[in-house]
Chains A and B, each alone.
Chain A
Amino acid sequence: MREPSVPELASSIRSPLLQVEALSKSFPGVRALDEVSLEVFSGEVVAVVGHNGSGKSTLVKVLAGLYEPDPGGQVFARTAEGAIVQGSEARDALHIIHQDLGLIGNLSTIENLDLGRRHGLRSLLPAPSRDERRRASELVAQFGASFDVRAPIASLPPAARTVVAIARALDGWTRPDNMLILDEPTATLRGEEVALLFGAVRRTAKGGAGVIFISHRLDEVVNLADRVLVLRDGRLVAALEAGEYDHETLVNLITGGAAGSAAAVEHKILDDPVLRVRGLSGETVVRADLDIRPGEIVGVSGVVGSGREAIGGLIFGALRRTSGEVELGDRSLPPGRLRAAIAAGVGYVPADRHSAGAVMSFSVRENVTLPQLRPLRRRLGRLDLRQERREAISWLGRVGLRPLVPERALSLFSGGNQQKAVLAKWLRNEPRLLLLDEPTQGVDVGAKASIYELVVGAAGRGAAVLISSSDTEELLSICNRVLVFREGEVVATLEGEDLTDHRLVMESLGLGRAGAEIVFGDTEDC
């Protein structure tokens, strides 16, 4: 086969590499993707941007075949042979690199590149290691990278790993004009590493590939993309060519022009703090001080590793503290004494519901009552199952669990309903302090609103609430005050007029007021 050169490709074939028509995807209670259409041609980099929950991840997952789209939508792709295919065949023609890259950490670059290839019986022969090594080095060199291809992937810097993932996706293409989709590839990268990755992406596109670049970092998009598509609430709200946009227009399109600073809390907040934290250190947190008053909802913001994700667990005592004092009311909360903390009225909702938030194999009823079984204990240590069921139903009704079936295993509920059940278990405890870490991660929009209502309701009954979240919109909409963590320390406290999307982002990146980089959240959940 003759290798066509790039200009030829660009001129001769003007049919798109990927064509998506009216693609929709519904989940119970929410339309995550609403009739999205797009085209990608050879040689261009198309960026898709949007807030958390705007449908970016859903789009990638539908294209990858992880989700079945709603009937009516069409996906066409051009294969390596030049044929136009649709449906599942189209999926096979797309090369997608997910956020976690899909590499195996303890294998080397050579071995990871080799995984995707088919050898048949030859795989039983010893691998020609010198050739393999040279080939692997050449491949990564194409992307302007050079590192030891024999080292385990886990020991490489994140950008190098991304390069390996791209190299693997591109390896074995018979033609350069193929579709490459990168989902949040820069989430874990730092400045110079981003540059390395961008170089690789540009080279790939210049070679004739079509690239979709999903990101929430606008500065990247402005630098890299030939075209920007903006998603909001599952709809494609704008498609802009390079030069038609700047930061300002993109921000407005992404947020829908909403200023977004409205604390929903109207109840009374008492003056004396119920939670006092002094000099708390441990994990990523360094000497944190904070006070929360009864009825107050305090947010915690910051990039990954800033201490945001550790502060809740440290206060609760679930993570190892190295120093510091935590007092709830007149009681001190020592580390590692979780039962005492729960008895003192602390409720802790960890970020990872599946591995830490709840016992998925238990029924909802059993999950709700697990932290406080004592009130249900009768003579001979017997559990009053009837009373337990009654209490569970009462609380699950209050949080609006749907369907209200207390005996069903928690794993069979949707993410939003699971989270409601987790909240019910702590609300039953009449908490004086609620520590919530990413309370709406993996939760649909409808359930999100009811979770906010429940949190605000608990605060209205006098609970102090601490919410750690990567979702700035979430912090803006329900918090009275937001603490910004950077490198383990509280660097800013924003409230009132100062509590804006812009300030949160600037403070968490340490850019002050002058910086130009704008970030929308750190993690994507859909």
Chain B
Amino acid sequence: MSSDVKRAFGPGSVELATSVHDSEPPARPWHQSVRLALSFRNISAIYIFLVLFVLFSLWVPETFLQWDTWHSLLATQALVALVAIGLVPALAAGVFNLAIGAQVGFGSILVAWFLAKQGLGVAPAIALTVVAGTVIGVGSGLVITRFRIDSFIATLGISSVLLAMIQWIANSQQIVDLGESFQRIATNEVLGLTLPVWFMLAVGLLLWYVLERTPLGRRLYATGGNPEAARLAGVPVPAMVVLSLAICGAIATAAGILQSAQVGTGDPTVGPGFLLPAFAAAFLGSTQFRGGRYNIWGTVVAVYVLATGVKGLQLAGAPVWIPDLFNGIALLIAVGMSRIEATSIRSRAISRMIRRPGSGATTRAEENTSN
């Protein structure tokens, strides 16, 4: 407590304000940083994961604790995680890409069409498909920024157009015979994990770096935070929107390609199934680690926590409709709780200011961020 008192008379007061130019205010003591980092608010998903893990280990130990279970969980959820990661830059820039499911489906069917119907090699087929996905992303970005259509509506329209194109390309049938070498990109393993898992982690790392460590990422978040203020601070807002959707489109089609490789066929119906889990994970992820900001690792963790819960319930013999129920309720609870918390932080800060008029400004600032 004495450190709190000391801080109260620290860098805040006016007389001292001129003398702190060159020296930083005392950094937060390490035990407080640790407490903050480990608080339920910051990493609730990890605690929920631990609870789920213990619960199912006791309930269905013979299946839940098998490496095979985890191995397949990691592999199958890698694509959902990849799609959810792709959503993060767009959400950070304040854009809702409702076409992401259709983009996955489009990538999945287009690569199959290139391979089986056009006889292209694996590398050019993949490259062309990703380019097509990027172009679709840029196109939707231009529709939003040029015609000033709300991203919700624009991407809903684009989603419908893409779904039609998928049926047209596929002739409403599955495309088979994609070739051994193509399927290997989804089934080969490195260090015990399939390639899509590594690919997802690599894309996650790259996007994390861009979003959290570069000026570009800062501008994307500023665009989502307040487009007008960002514009007046010199952020090229339309370019940010287009860019975020281009990234989104490229990643979604890449996920579609891996989906086709995983099952060995181009299926015209797979895409839309990714939409809800990806959004649920991105929203849930935004409540983790970064206090309300959409972020990569929170999203990845959210995907796997949800999947663990669903897997455990399935192993315990729950009916087939359980996954949807579980995902929906988990999302509502997590996001609801973070909203309540945000409000209470604000009201606490305000009430503290009101409680001590005059000196109110020199508050113990750390207090409200730590509890």
Indicate whether A318 sits within 8 Å of B17 (C-beta atoms), given known contacts A361-B292, A403-B365.
Answer: no
Report yes or no: A377 in contact with B360, Cβ–Cβ below 8 A. no
Q: Which of B320-371 contact A (CB under 8 A)?
A: 345-346, 349, 353-354, 356-358, 360-363, 365-366, 368-369
CB–CB B362/A371 < 8 A:
no
* B-contact bits for A317-361, CB 8 A (1 contact / 0 none): 010000000000000000000110111000010100001111111
Give B14's nearest chain A residue, CB to CB: A400
A402 within 8 Å of B (CB atoms): yes
Please name all residues of chain A whose beta carbon is closer than 8 Å to the beta carbon of B349 when the two chains form the complex.
Answer: 412
Whole-angstrom CA separation of A405 from B356 in the bound complex: 18
Contacts of A411 in B (CB 8 A): 346
In the bound assembly, the distance between CA atoms of A28 and B368 in angstroms comes to 18
Collect the chain A residues with CB atoms within 8 Å of residue B366's CB: 405
Q: Is the CB of B229 within 8 A of A358?
A: yes
Does B236 interact with chain A (Cβ within 8 Å)? yes
**Chain B residues closer than 8 Å to A425, beta-carbon distance:** 233
Q: Are B228 and A355 in contact (CB under 8 A)?
A: yes
Contact digits for B1-30, partner A, Cβ 8 Å, 1 yes 0 no: 000000000011110011011101100000
Task: Classify chain B: how many residues form its interface, as a range.
Answer: 35 or more
State in angstroms the CA–CA spacing of A358 and B230 once bound together. Answer: 8
Asked if A389 is an interface residue, CB under 8 A from chain B, the answer is yes
Q: Does B234 contact A (CB under 8 A)?
A: yes
Given contacts A357-B229, A360-B226, A411-B346, contact A28 B218 (CB under 8 A): no
Binds A, one of B101-109, B209-217, B303-311: B209-217
B201-244 vs A, CB cutoff 8 Å, 1 = contact: the mask equals 00000000010011110110110011011111111100000000
In contact, A28 and B292 (Cβ under 8 angstroms): no
The A/B interface has a contact count, at CB < 8 Å, of: 134
> Do A381 and B357 have beta carbons less than 8 Å apart?
no
User: Does A394 lie within 8 Å of B14, measured CB to CB?
Assistant: no
Choose among A30, A361, A402, A403 the residue that contacts B225 (Cβ–Cβ < 8 A).
A361
Contact indicator A404/B11 (Cβ below 8 Å)? yes
In the complex, are the beta carbons of B215 and A359 less than 8 A apart?
Answer: no
Output the nearest chain B residue to A376 by Cβ-Cβ distance: B215
Contacts of B22 in A (CB 8 A): 394
Residue of B nearest to A28 (CB): B360
For B363, what are the chain A residues with a Cβ–Cβ distance below 8 Å?
403
- How far apart are the CA atoms of A359 and B235 in the complex, in Å? 12
CB nearest neighbor in A for B228 = A356
B331 to chain A, nearest CB (A): 21
Given known contacts A318-B231, A338-B232, A382-B213, is B360 in contact with A408 (CB within 8 Å)?
no
Tell me the chain A residues, 401-422 only, with Cβ under 8 Å from chain B: 402-405, 407-408, 411-412, 414, 417
Contact A402 B362, beta carbon cutoff 8 Å: yes
Interface residues of B (CB under 8 A from A): 11-14, 17-18, 20-22, 24-25, 210, 213-216, 218-219, 221-222, 225-226, 228-236, 292-293, 345-346, 349, 353-354, 356-358, 360-363, 365-366, 368-369
14 pairs, A vs B, C-beta closer than 8 Å: A28-B354, A341-B234, A348-B232, A355-B226, A360-B225, A361-B226, A373-B219, A376-B215, A393-B24, A393-B25, A397-B17, A397-B21, A400-B17, A402-B362
